[in-house]
Structure 1
Amino acid sequence: MGCGCSKFYRCCTDLEQNGPVLEAHSVPNEESNELDLPTFHEYTIEQLRMATSGFAVENIVSEHGEKAPNVVYKGKLENQRRIAVKRFNRSAWPDARQFLEEARSVGQLRNQRLANLLGCCCEGDERLLVAEYMPNDTLAKHLFHWETQPMKWAMRLRVALHLAQALEYCTNKERALYHDLNSYRIVFDDDGNPRLSCFGLMKNSRDGKSYSTNLAFTPPEYLRTGRVTPESVMYSFGTLLLDLLSGKHIPPSHALDLIRDRNLQMLTDSCLEGQFSNDEGTELVRLASRCLQYEPRERPNPKSLVAALIPLQKDTEVPSHVLMGIQHGTTALPLSPLGEASLRMDLTAIHEILEKIGYKDDEGTATELSFQMWTNQMQDTLSSKKKGDVAFRHKDFKAAIDCYTQFIDVGTMVSPTIYARRSLSYLISEMPQEALNDALQAQVISPVWHIAFYLQAASLLVLGRENEAQVALREGSAIETKKKATS
Structure 2
Amino acid sequence: MGCESSKLASCCWSGQNGPVREAQNPDDEERAEVSDLPTFREFTVEQLRISTSGFAVENIVSEHGEKAPNVVYKGKLENQRRVAVKRFNRSAWPDSRQFLEEARSVGQLRNNRLANLLGCCCEGDERLLVAEFMPNETLAKHLFHWETQPMKWAMRLRVALYLGQALEYCTIKGRALYHDLNAYRILFDEEGDPRLSCFGLMKNSRDGKSYSTNLAFTPPEYLRTGRITPESVMYSFGTLLLDLLSGKHIPPSHALDLIKDRNLQMLTDSCLEGQFSSDDGTELVRIASRCLQYEPRERPNPKSLVAALFPLQKEIEVPSHALMGISRDGGNMPLSPLGEACLRMDLTAIHEILEKLGYKDDEGAATELSFQMWTNQMQETLNSKKKGDAAFRHKDAKAAIECYTLFIDVGTMVSPTVYARRSLSYLMNDMPQEALNDAVQAQVISPVWHVASYLQAASLFALGRENEAQIALKEGSVLEEKKNTNS
- Which TM bucket (shorter chain)? over 0.9
Q: Give the 3-state SS of the residue equivalent to 1:84 in structure 2.
A: strand
Q: Tell me, in whole angstroms, the C-alpha distance in 2 between the residues paired with 1:297 and 1:66.
A: 39
C-alpha distance after superposition, 1:214-235 (max 9, x if no partner): 1111111111111111111011
- What residue number does 2:466 align with? 466
For 1:70, the aligned partner's letter is N
In the alignment, what sits opposite 2:431?
431
Q: State the alpha-carbon separation in 2 of the partners of residues 473 and 428 from structure 1.
A: 19
- Give the conservation status (yes or no) of the 8 Å contact 1:21–1:300: no
Computed over aligned residues only, the root mean square deviation of the Cα atoms, in angstroms, reads 2.0
CA 1:83/1:152 → structure 2, altered by over 3 Å: closer, same or farther? same
Q: Distance in 2 between matches of 1:21 and 1:203?
A: 33
Question: Alignment identity in percent?
Answer: 82
Helix, strand or coil at the partner of 2:62? strand
- Give distance in 2, aligned partners of 1:5 and 1:249: 20
Are the aligned partners of 1:419 and 1:441 in contact in 2 as well (CA < 8 Å)? Answer: yes
After TM superposition, give the deviation of residue 342 of structure 1 in Å. 0.8
**1:8 and 2:8 aligned:** yes
Q: Structure 2: how far apart are the matches of 1:381 and 1:321?
A: 51
Structure 2 residue aligned with 1:60: 60
Determine the C-alpha separation between the residues in 1 that align with 2:352 and 2:121: 43
**Equivalence for 1:375:** 375
Is this contact kept in 2: 1:423–1:439, CA < 8 A?
yes
Q: Distance in 1 between matches of 2:65 and 2:460?
A: 39
Aligned mates of 2:326, 2:67 — CA distance in 1: 33
Q: Is the 8 A contact 1:93 1:127 kept in 2?
A: yes
1:164-208 CA distance string (max 9 Å, x none): 010010001010000100001001111111110000000122333
Q: Encode CA deviations 1:89-134: one digit per residue, 9 max, x unaligned.
A: 1111111111111111001001100011111111111111111111
1:222 aligned residue: 222
User: Would the aligned equivalents of 1:436 and 1:460 in 2 still touch at CA under 8 Å?
Assistant: yes
Could you tell me which residue of structure 1 aligns to residue 51 of structure 2? 51
Give yes or no for contact 1:29–1:169 (8 Å, CA) kept in 2. Answer: no
Residue in 1 that maps onto 2:446: 446
Provide the C-alpha distance between the structure 1 equivalents of 2:289 and 2:248, rounded to a whole number of angstroms.
17
User: 2:450 corresponds to which letter in structure 1?
Assistant: H
CA distance in 2, matches of 1:66, 1:343: 35
State the alpha-carbon separation in 2 of the partners of residues 364 and 425 from structure 1: 24
1:389-400 → structure 2 map (5 Å cutoff): 389-400=389-400
Q: CA deviation at 1:17?
A: 3.8
Partner of 2:239: 239
Question: Residue 463 and residue 307 in structure 1: after superposition, are their counterparts in 2 closer, same or farther (change >3 A)?
Answer: same
The corresponding residue for 1:171 is 171
- Give the Cα separation in 1 of the matches to 2:25 and 2:327: 35
Paired residues of 2:34 and 2:110 also in contact (CA < 8 A): no
Q: Residue type matched to 1:201 in 2?
A: L
**Counterpart code for 1:296:** P
- Residue 79 of structure 1 and its aligned partner are, at CA, apart by 0.6
SS in 1 for 2:61: strand
Cα distance change of structure 1 residues 447 and 383 upon mapping to structure 2, 3 Å threshold: same
Deviation of 1:28 after TM superposition, in Å, equals: 4.2
Which amino acid in the other structure matches residue 83 of structure 2? I
Cα distance, 1:397–1:4 mapped onto 2, change above 3 Å: same
Letter in 1 for 2:263: N
CA distance in 2, matches of 1:149, 1:89: 37
Instruction: Call closer, same or farther: CA 1:42–1:176 in 2, change over 3 Å.
Output: same
Distance in 2 (CA, whole Å) between partners of 1:155 and 1:356 is: 47
> Once the two structures are superposed, what CA deviation does each residue of 1:30-83 show, in whole Å capped at 9, x if it has no partner?
577644211111100000000011111111111549997111111001010111
Alignment match, 2:256: 256
Q: Distance in 2 between matches of 1:447 and 1:354?
A: 18
1: CA distance between counterparts of 2:367 and 2:187? 38
Structure 1 contact 24–303 (Cα < 8 Å) conserved:
no
Q: Please say if 1:419 is aligned against 2:405.
A: no
Q: Find the counterpart in structure 2 of residue 271 from structure 1.
A: 271
**1:394-418 CA distance string (max 9 Å, x none):** 1111111111111111111111111
**Aligned counterparts, 1:471-482, within 5 A:** 471-482=471-482
- The equivalences for 1:396-411 within 5 A come to 396-411=396-411
Distance 1:387 1:65, change over 3 A: closer
The one-character-per-residue Cα deviations of 1:241-274 (angstroms, maximum 9, x if unpaired) are 0000000001111111111111111110001111
CA distance in 2, matches of 1:233, 1:27: 23
The CA distance in 2 between the partners of 1:381 and 1:193, in whole Å, is 51
- For residues 161 and 33 of structure 2, what CA distance do their matches in structure 1 show? 22
The DSSP-based 3-state class of the residue aligned with 2:183 is coil
Alignment partner of 1:132 is 2:122: no
In the aligned structure 2, how far is the partner of 1:221 from the partner of 1:77?
Answer: 41
Native 8 Å contact 2:247 2:269 kept in 1: yes
For the residue of structure 2 that corresponds to 1:142, the secondary structure is helix
| Cα deviations by residue, 1:135-190 (Å, 9 ceiling, x for unpaired) | 11111111111111111111111110110010010001010000100001001111
Gaps of 5+ in 2: none
1:200 equivalent in structure 2: 200
Distance of 2:230 and 2:68 partners within structure 1: 21
Between the two proteins, the alignment pairs up a number of residues equal to: 487
Q: What is the rounded CA distance, in whole Å, between the counterparts of 1:363 and 1:225 in structure 2?
A: 54
Q: Secondary structure at 1:360's aligned position in 2?
A: coil
Structure 1 Cα separation of the partners of residues 452 and 431 of structure 2: 17
The SS at the match of 2:184 is: coil
In the aligned structure 2, how far is the partner of 1:32 from the partner of 1:154?
A: 23
**Aligned position for 2:212:** 212
CA shift in 2, pair 1:475/1:124, >3 Å: same
Q: 1:381 to 1:66 in 2, by over 3 A?
A: closer
Is the Cα contact below 8 Å between 1:53 and 1:447 reproduced in 2? yes
User: What residue ranges of structure 1 are gaps of 5+ in the alignment?
Assistant: none
Listed one character per residue, the Cα deviations across residues 323-344 of structure 1 (whole Å, up to 9, x for unaligned) are 1122221222121111111111
Instruction: Decide whether aligned partners of structure 1 residues 20 and 312 sit closer, same or farther in structure 2, where only a CA change above 3 A counts.
Output: closer
Q: Secondary structure at the match of 2:178?
A: coil
- Equivalent residue for 1:360? 360
| Residue 20 to residue 279, structure 1, CA distance change in 2 (3 Å) | closer
Q: Describe the SS at the equivalent of 1:148.
A: coil
* Native 8 Å contact 1:367 1:413 kept in 2: no
Distance in 1 between the 2:320 and 2:261 partners?
35
Query: Partners of 2:211 and 2:65 in 1: how far apart?
Result: 12
Question: Structure 1's 46 and 67: CA in aligned 2 closer, same or farther, altered over 3 A?
Answer: closer
Cα distance in 1 for residues equivalent to 2:23 and 2:124? 47
1:373, 1:412 within 8 Å by CA — same for their partners in 2?
A: no
Counterpart for residue 297 of structure 1: 297
Counterpart-to-counterpart distance in 2, 1:371 and 1:410:
16
Q: Residues of 1 paired with 2:418 and 2:17: CA distance?
A: 72
1:29 Cα deviation from its structure 2 partner: 5.8
Segment drifting more, 400-409 vs 13-22: 13-22
What CA distance in whole angstroms lies between the structure 1 residues aligned with 2:252 and 2:452? 48
Structure 1 letter corresponding to 2:340: E
Aligned to 2:333: 333
Matches within 5 A, 1:78-97: 78-97=78-97
Give, in angstroms, the shift of residue 5 of structure 1: 2.4
What is the rounded CA distance, in whole Å, between the counterparts of 2:306 and 2:344 in structure 1?
45
